Structure 1
Amino acid sequence: MIAFCIIVLLLPVCGSVPLTGWVQSPGHPRGYDPNSRLTWKECAPTGHRITLTLIHLDVEESFDCEDDSLKIFADEELLFKLCGRKSMKELQASINPFLHSSRGGCLSVSFLADYSNPERHTGFRGFYAIQDVDECTDPENECTQLCNNYIGGYRCFCRPGYVLNPDEHTCQVSCSEDRNGSREGVLMSPGWPEPYPENSVCSYTLAVEEGLQFELTFTGVFDVEMKENGQCIDSLTIKPLSGDVRTFCGRKLPSFFLTRSQHVEIIFRTDYKGANRGFSLSYRVREMNCVGPVTPSSSLISQHSYSEYPTGYKVKVKCDKGHVLKSIKSAEVEYESTCQKNGEWSPVIACEPVDCGIPELSELMELSDKDPPTTYQKQISFKCKSKYYQLDNTGHFTCNAEGYWESESGEKLTEDSPKCEPVCGMNTEVSFGGRIFGGKKASLGQIPWQLLHRSSPRGGASLISDYWAITAAHVVDGYEQSTLNWLGGIIDAQDKNAVTMETEKIIIHPKYNKVVKGTSPNNYDNDIALIKMSARVPLGPNIRPVCLPKITDELEGESTISGFGKVKESKMSQNLLYGPVEIFSLDKCDSRGLPVTHNMICAGGQSIDSCKGDSGGPLFSPVLGYGSPDKPYRLIGIVSWGPPECGNESFKGYYTKVQNYLDWIKETMEKN
């Protein structure tokens, strides 16, 4: 009884929870009746567990214990479902070792007999006990050093020289030290030169008056635990009041350095294991000086060159090339600064890179990258928005020191801006052969530079840019002050979806021999005119310009003519027709008495000819179907004049030689 009372004092819960007891089936040991039932449950208090020891088992045996059964649960999980007979030896070997709860958990028993019991069975009996758990034997108790178990719980404590953290599990060395006012001394890891202890967090504080700084020198061995990849496991951190924080580990002895601060905190941290030796460093104070540069991207201008400058020393601060003073709106790049007692320069004005800004772009152009950096030495590039345009010059520029975008050749963007010029001489359809006089129909996009003027006199023109077209002078003679409409992007003269272009200017070559309106000219020399449209032509797959010829091109072999002109008798073609013609020397062509000049080309073929209504249209090379990006279609001639009998093989047609007018075309377009 005395022993029991002592237990009660140590275990406050004994008054409400029996420490031991028996649990048995109804009627034991005489035997249980059919339809017998028993439910039992006991829970252990905190820091304890409950165990059950079966000393007898005799329950009707059936498959999977379907008739009568004894179920034992621990913390609501089924441990065993039992039936049949087992000896005490069998129970001790295979059942009893597993009949226990978790710490603070519960055991429960459920006994159930069915309606029949052909043979009398005595049932079961077991002894339960509530036992204290020794938490100190549990590797997960998280005590980093020592553990003390007591009934219902455990407590961590530390070896001498350590203190227990607020988490009540971790021990750490009490090694922090305030050396405020100390001008020199030595700091060492705990236990130096022996290995330092685990779970250390040592903080050493150094502080002196303004105008001084600490000089740190590591001595002897430096050995702070580090992973193979260079990551610190343990660490030594030097943290000045201002300036860079440095962290060290490994075995390489850190070099001497100045803290540039009158206040320094040195923090040494270790983990829970290791056998490294730590560190030893000495410190002393010295006067605070200033070092350069005063601000990034600048240099010092001084009568003397020092690695450090004394208090009160004045220097000129000059921004590096391509940088200007941030707070000054002008292009100033220089100011005066003085070394202060705290080792800082004053004033400090940042030098920021020159910013060239985003340049103004034409409606056809855009930046290759969205929101690119635009400061000194940064690069930008341009591209055309549409695939029907290409840059006429380099699209790459660099921001220079003066704040201008500069090309690789040194040209300023404002002076040498790239332009998006239409891609010329390309089509979307490929075909071969055909004739214009009674000839073959063109496909949509096959001759996309062909334009049509339906009013009297009916005529054609060739688009040579997104604003300009070229035609024969006699087609527009007398209409210089009028507004004419031209159709493009079609192969059917009646197409209601044609692109309509309105003229802004009609410029006839100044040496063309003008005639009285309503009559035919008797001299077709300089039969060429330029048409400027009032708005930009919307280029696309079915309407795009033809290239002008090169001055060095040799005009020979086959070319192609196209137009909506007369096909037989007085009937004009509704469809765009084309066909190949051969170029001949002028002395092999019959002009019917009309004057022929070097400004003309003579061309024709078998039953292939331009005719009335084709005037102003193109003669282009190479033959349709053989153009490529490397060999675009070029306008070599303009349908000008010929014999009345279109398609007569005895006579050829005459075309204005575009090659002779390249300078006039260029100058006229630039001036207008």
Structure 2
Amino acid sequence: MKVKVQKERAGCALTLLIMIVFCVIVLLFPVCGSVSLAGWVQSPGHPQGYDPHSNLTWKKCAPTGHKITLTLIHLDLEESFECEDDALKLYADEVLLFTLCGRKSMKELQASVNPFLHSSPGGCLSASFLADYSNTERHTGFRGFYTVQDVNECMDPENECTQLCNNYIGGYRCFCRPGYILDSDKHTCQVSCSEDRTGSQEGVLMSPEWPGPYPENAVCSYTLAVEEGLQFELTFTGVFDVEKKENGECIDSLTIKPLSGDAETLCGRDVPSSLLTRSQRVEIIFKSDHKGANRGFSLYYKTRGMKCTGPVTPKSSLYPQDSEYLTGNKVTVKCDKGHVLKSNESAEVEYTATCQKNGQWSPVIPCEPVDCGIPELPELMELSDKDHPTTYLNKISLKCANKYYQLDKNDNFICNAEGNWVSESGQTLTEDLPKCEAVCGMNTEVSFGGRVFGGKPARSGQIPWQLFHKQLRRGGASLISDYWALTAAHVVDGLENTNMTWLGGIVNSQDRNPVTMEANKIIIHPNYQRVPVGGDRKNFNNDIALIKMSARVQLGPNIRPVCLPNTTNGPVMEGKMGTVSGFGGFEQGSTSAILRYGHIQEYPSEQCVFEDYFVTDNMFCAGDEVKRVDSCQGDIGGPLFFPMLGYGTKEQPYEVRGIVSWGPARCGHVSKSYYTKVQNYLGWIEETMANN
């Protein structure tokens, strides 16, 4: 009984204490206006007990500079697993702190719960109580006492006051020690050290508290200014000690800022050299951070007469040359090689400038690099890099506009001092302009086997240089550039003045979409012997002709030129097989609508004797007696090319070594025919193409 009475007295004493605190806070109510500074929060029906389905939601927020605290003095709720039946949930600033149920004594609440029931400054506390549908015994619920308290911001190390802090109800303020002023951020104390020395021509400037360590958070601005015609010379005396990092970056800094020109920032321990400012007005700015014990600087300043120095403008030189020039001195400014005066249409490179009283030159005309501009290029050619600079000493390179062409020589040019693009040999672009020549001897598909007489059909792109003519006289030709084709003279003999149409890019003569080429010129070899109409030809010497088309042939995957031979003597096919192609006969008495090809070899002339026919060194015999491969009527003028189809490479492209010329009347009977030896006519071909 005695113990129970003592507990009741202790409880009454605590309640009385809380009531006294409550009364004191109520007396201070006007301090916070309409905000309640203290009060109680309890479960419905407390202390008699709460009913089933009871609930309560409570929330209180503190004003700026205050926080709210809650002290639980009683807790008696139904005990359940994880408080899933009856529960009191407590939150601080919307964050759940505790979920409580069961019974806890005042001592337990004080030890494990109450120390954490407070908000952040200006934050909120909230509680949510919810009971389920029934309890096996009656529980009294909970009760707590909340108070709104001032926050002592000066105890917060993050309040950012650099020197002194004064706390008051609802806030705090920073203030400074004597000799310092509060910055506009209301937190930083700065030393008051700015000084205007306008008109002073000689004197000493020192960091604050020199020769002792300079104070923290110093921002000092010293202004030096005199009349026009004078400039300041600065000389550092004694110790120079301005804090910097090991990597050389300035922590504190001394900045010399003239009226014109670049500012110079100094720090470290090396005494700077004397500085001639070349300015009648100089601002000297000293800054320090919030820590350190460095000694600072001392400098002596004086004035001297203003002088001009060179250069007047970059990329130029002065005449006469001197280290300094007096006011009124005149100089000739001459642009360096490859540079001209800016915005000068006459491309002048020099002018006269005069030294002014302020130490500046007038006039100042910049020198800019010569611009060669974007060159005019012929059709099919373009710059490798369209956005590349075109000024002095910059380089450009050229390329052909599509992959079916390549440059015939060096493609690099440099912009010279005269504004011309020149090659490595020193010739101008117009004198040494490369040409885009059609890539020859390359096809887009490879295959093996087949014959012309009874041969195998070609596929698109296999023999892209094959041309075909089926009007007036059936025959073939070989495209050797994007303008010229090569054929046998007797294919075009007598047709020089006709509108001769050639077809290309096809493997079927009935194709409705061939590349159509109109002949502009037909040039037969001058030593070719023409036979009168109705005459019997026995001599096919010099059986070669060139055809120039009226327009550039649009090259593509199915129409590309074949190369000319790169040799002028020796065996035509070097003892290997070549390939002949055409739209001629492939069986006795029939011609082919399909392009066919076959592989043949070269034979000595003594093995190819045809009665009464005239054989010269300008022709050679080829065929295949074993497989009975041969050219035939309708193949006349077409190509015999090497290496054999399927074996051409970039290193050894296909070359037209022979032109189908003449042979036995019956195709396949002997399986040998004669071909014009193209290598004997390279000079005539090149000269004719160049002159026409």
Alignment of 1:70-469 (within 5 A): 70-111=88-129, 116=134, 118-302=136-320, 305-469=321-485
Q: How many Å separate the matches in 1 of 2:635 and 2:43?
A: 119
Consecutive unaligned residues in structure 2, runs of 5 or more: 1-20
CA 1:334–1:644 in structure 2 vs 1: closer, same or farther (change >3 Å)?
Answer: same
Consecutive unaligned residues in structure 1, runs of 5 or more: none
CA 1:273–1:643 in structure 2 vs 1: closer, same or farther (change >3 Å)?
Answer: same
Checking the alignment, whether the CA contact within 8 Å between 2:243 and 2:294 is kept in structure 1 is yes
CA 1:6–1:161 in structure 2 vs 1: closer, same or farther (change >3 Å)?
Answer: farther
Letter in 2 for 1:243: G
Percent of pairs identical after alignment?
A: 73
Letter in 2 for 1:530: L
Letter in 2 for 1:590: V
SS of the residue corresponding to residue 480 of structure 1 reads coil
Question: Which among 631, 636, 654 is matched to residue 615 of structure 1?
Answer: 636
Match of residue 631 from structure 1: 652
Q: CA deviation at 1:151?
A: 2.3
CA 1:60–1:541 in structure 2 vs 1: closer, same or farther (change >3 Å)?
Answer: closer
Farther-moved stretch of structure 1 (183-192 vs 218-227)? 218-227
Q: How many Å separate the matches in 2 of 1:644 and 1:145?
A: 119
Q: How many Å separate the matches in 1 of 2:27 and 2:352?
A: 83
Checking the alignment, whether the CA contact within 8 Å between 2:478 and 2:486 is kept in structure 1 is yes
SS of the residue corresponding to residue 166 of structure 2 reads strand
Match of residue 665 from structure 1: 685
CA 1:59–1:642 in structure 2 vs 1: closer, same or farther (change >3 Å)?
Answer: closer
Letter in 2 for 1:660: N
Q: CA deviation at 1:353?
A: 0.9
Match of residue 578 from structure 2: 559
| Residue 494 (structure 1) aligned with residue 513 (structure 2) | no
CA 1:348–1:517 in structure 2 vs 1: closer, same or farther (change >3 Å)?
Answer: farther
SS of the residue corresponding to residue 93 of structure 1 reads helix
Q: CA deviation at 1:475?
A: 0.8
Q: How many Å separate the matches in 1 of 2:288 and 2:461?
A: 78
Match of residue 605 from structure 1: 624
Q: CA deviation at 1:406?
A: 1.3
Checking the alignment, whether the CA contact within 8 Å between 1:238 and 1:245 is kept in structure 2 is yes
Q: How many Å separate the matches in 1 of 2:612 and 2:358?
A: 103
CA 1:478–1:55 in structure 2 vs 1: closer, same or farther (change >3 Å)?
Answer: same
C-alpha offsets along residues 538-588 of structure 1, whole Å, 9 cap, x if unaligned? 212221111111244522423322222233443222222222333244455
Q: How many Å separate the matches in 1 of 2:271 and 2:605?
A: 94
C-alpha offsets along residues 491-524 of structure 1, whole Å, 9 cap, x if unaligned? 2222223211111111112222223345443432
SS of the residue corresponding to residue 522 of structure 2 reads strand
C-alpha offsets along residues 603-643 of structure 1, whole Å, 9 cap, x if unaligned? 33313332222221112222222221111111222222233
Checking the alignment, whether the CA contact within 8 Å between 1:8 and 1:14 is kept in structure 2 is no
CA 1:31–1:577 in structure 2 vs 1: closer, same or farther (change >3 Å)?
Answer: closer
Q: How many Å separate the matches in 1 of 2:27 and 2:200?
A: 56
Q: How many Å separate the matches in 2 of 1:404 and 1:129?
A: 89
SS of the residue corresponding to residue 539 of structure 2 reads coil
CA 1:61–1:322 in structure 2 vs 1: closer, same or farther (change >3 Å)?
Answer: same
Checking the alignment, whether the CA contact within 8 Å between 2:22 and 2:38 is kept in structure 1 is no
Checking the alignment, whether the CA contact within 8 Å between 1:489 and 1:543 is kept in structure 2 is yes
SS of the residue corresponding to residue 341 of structure 1 reads coil
Scaled by the length of structure 1, the TM-score of the pair is: 0.92
Farther-moved stretch of structure 1 (96-105 vs 372-381)? 96-105
CA 1:444–1:86 in structure 2 vs 1: closer, same or farther (change >3 Å)?
Answer: closer
Letter in 2 for 1:319: C
SS of the residue corresponding to residue 475 of structure 1 reads helix
Q: CA deviation at 1:81?
A: 3.4
C-alpha offsets along residues 364-408 of structure 1, whole Å, 9 cap, x if unaligned? 122211321101111111122221111111111111111111112
Farther-moved stretch of structure 1 (52-61 vs 263-272)? 52-61
Q: How many Å separate the matches in 2 of 1:458 and 1:338?
A: 85
Checking the alignment, whether the CA contact within 8 Å between 2:25 and 2:38 is kept in structure 1 is no
| Residue 640 (structure 1) aligned with residue 661 (structure 2) | yes
Letter in 2 for 1:659: Q
Checking the alignment, whether the CA contact within 8 Å between 2:22 and 2:39 is kept in structure 1 is no
Scaled by the length of structure 2, the TM-score of the pair is: 0.89
Match of residue 656 from structure 1: 676
Q: How many Å separate the matches in 2 of 1:115 and 1:590?
A: 124
| Residue 579 (structure 1) aligned with residue 579 (structure 2) | no
Match of residue 8 from structure 2: none
SS of the residue corresponding to residue 495 of structure 1 reads coil
CA 1:499–1:87 in structure 2 vs 1: closer, same or farther (change >3 Å)?
Answer: same
Q: How many Å separate the matches in 2 of 1:33 and 1:570?
A: 119
| Residue 61 (structure 1) aligned with residue 82 (structure 2) | no
Q: How many Å separate the matches in 1 of 2:689 and 2:107?
A: 115
Checking the alignment, whether the CA contact within 8 Å between 2:61 and 2:124 is kept in structure 1 is yes
Q: CA deviation at 1:216?
A: 2.3
Farther-moved stretch of structure 1 (112-121 vs 482-491)? 112-121
Q: CA deviation at 1:329?
A: 1.0
C-alpha offsets along residues 463-494 of structure 1, whole Å, 9 cap, x if unaligned? 00011001111111111111111111222222
Checking the alignment, whether the CA contact within 8 Å between 1:590 and 1:652 is kept in structure 2 is no
Letter in 2 for 1:482: T
SS of the residue corresponding to residue 289 of structure 1 reads coil
Checking the alignment, whether the CA contact within 8 Å between 1:592 and 1:643 is kept in structure 2 is no
Question: Which among 507, 526, 541 is matched to residue 510 of structure 1?
Answer: 526
Q: CA deviation at 1:195?
A: 2.8
Q: CA deviation at 1:442?
A: 2.5
Letter in 1 for 2:591: M
C-alpha offsets along residues 181-211 of structure 1, whole Å, 9 cap, x if unaligned? 1222222222333332222221111111111
Match of residue 595 from structure 1: 614
Q: How many Å separate the matches in 2 of 1:34 and 1:525?
A: 125
CA 1:625–1:174 in structure 2 vs 1: closer, same or farther (change >3 Å)?
Answer: same
Q: How many Å separate the matches in 1 of 2:462 and 2:162?
A: 87
Q: CA deviation at 1:77?
A: 4.1
Q: CA deviation at 1:47?
A: 2.3
SS of the residue corresponding to residue 561 of structure 1 reads strand
Letter in 1 for 2:290: Y
Q: CA deviation at 1:213?
A: 1.6
Q: How many Å separate the matches in 2 of 1:37 and 1:562?
A: 102
SS of the residue corresponding to residue 91 of structure 1 reads helix
Q: CA deviation at 1:595?
A: 2.9
Q: How many Å separate the matches in 1 of 2:68 and 2:445?
A: 93
Q: How many Å separate the matches in 1 of 2:479 and 2:265?
A: 72
Q: CA deviation at 1:533?
A: 0.8
Alignment of 1:531-550 (within 5 A): 531-550=547-566
Q: How many Å separate the matches in 1 of 2:34 and 2:210?
A: 56
Checking the alignment, whether the CA contact within 8 Å between 2:332 and 2:350 is kept in structure 1 is yes
Checking the alignment, whether the CA contact within 8 Å between 2:26 and 2:38 is kept in structure 1 is no
Q: How many Å separate the matches in 1 of 2:202 and 2:50?
A: 89
